[in-house]
Amino acid sequence: MGVILKSFASLGLPAEELALRRALDDAEVEVMRAHRSLDGLVTGVPTFVVRDGASGAGLELEGPLEVTAFVAALRRVHAAPSQPPRGDGFGLLQPPGAFLPGFAGKPTLVAEIDRLGGASISSVNLEGWQGPAAWPYAASDFARDDERDDALKYAAPNLVTHVDEPALAALTATYAALFRSYESGAAPLHLLDVGASWRSHYPQLPNGTRVSLMGLNAAELAANPTATEPSVVLDLNGGGGGDGGGAAVRLPYATASFDFVTCAASVAYLTRPREAFAELHRVLKPGGVAVMSFSNRCFAEKATKLWLDHMDEEVALCSIVRNYFYFGPRGGWAHVSSADISPHPSQGDPMWIVTAVKA
């Protein structure tokens, strides 16, 4: 230290400046430490974020934007620092999560959505896209290791869940948000759960709600307390395999009789997805919503080759289900969207959804 002080003195610099420089060096160390801890959280540079301490809602800008964009954002913050969230979700203080098209396409806040998840980002990028020009899959894509009748696999009841409880809770909360988008006065809500088992993961439903269940095992369906009418045992694959061949299954429900159709953890097994999705479209009311949810868990011997080949690629799986909507039937669906509702991005089971509104 004495040598350093003498050096400063020889340069005509006071000792106080040495202390100041040391303080600045210490501060730089702290700044770099903070930078390293925050660097992984920043998705674009520069990034501007304003968050409400109570709700976590906020305004976020990122990427190579013009300075005027950041100035405009600051002015909005200054002009309305405590403005409550607007119903359309485009106010200053946007709640956590993201908006999905609900009944009749109504923008509906789903707080469970991770906006930075791949499924959510791809949905934003594909908004308004109507899919490829032609059906992109071959019959061989729908081959399975076990091509026997599905009824043999599901002959015995299997009262277990294949996804962990946090992921299922996220699905329940997502259902609750979407179901609330249905507004029709005194008319009851009509729900159909296909590929159903002993749990449908629905939230508490309004009095008078009609719930129909369709699945492969009568004992599992009988154990499900959600149903309000006799359940239906039916195989969406029609008892066979190979997309495009054989007789298409027809659901035993009237045309335009449901407001929402849900399907949890079963889309991986569909061998005739175009025909199945066309039937879901038929039984939905105009403006009705189909909700397909799935994870990276399945019975491998019954899942299609197409699904297994992309098992750990959330964007690819979502693209597959989006294509099922685009071609089941062609032009029949609007607002095809995907979202990541996984409760823990790096822990536990993931949960992804693809939704569409009957055009």
d(CA 238, CA 131): 26
pLDDT of residue 87: 42
State residue 245's pLDDT score. 43
Q: Which residues have a Cβ under 8 Å from the Cβ of 131 and sit 6 or more positions away?
A: 322, 323, 325, 326, 327, 336
Residue 5, number of CB atoms within 10 A of its CB: 12
CATH architecture of 118-358: 3-Layer(aba) Sandwich (3.40)
Alpha-carbon distance of 310 to 8, in angstroms, equals 65
The DSSP 8-state label assigned to residue 327 in this structure reads B
The pair of structure tokens assigned to 225 is 């307390």
pTM, rounded to two decimals: 0.74
Q: What is the mean pLDDT of the chain?
A: 83
pLDDT in 10s for each residue of the chain, 359 residues: 566 556 656 666 666 666 666 666 666 667 677 767 766 665 555 556 665 555 455 566 666 667 777 677 666 656 554 444 444 334 444 557 888 999 999 999 899 999 888 999 899 889 889 999 999 999 999 999 999 988 788 888 877 788 899 999 999 999 999 999 998 767 899 999 999 999 999 999 999 999 999 999 999 999 999 999 999 999 999 864 445 444 568 999 999 999 999 999 999 999 999 999 999 999 999 999 999 999 998 889 999 999 999 998 999 999 999 999 999 999 999 999 999 999 976 678 999 999 999 99
In whole angstroms, what is the distance from residue 193 CA to residue 220 CA?
Answer: 13
184-222 exposure pattern, b = at least 16 Cβ within 10 A, e = fewer? eeeeebbbbbbbbbbbbbbeebeeebbbbbbbbbeebbe
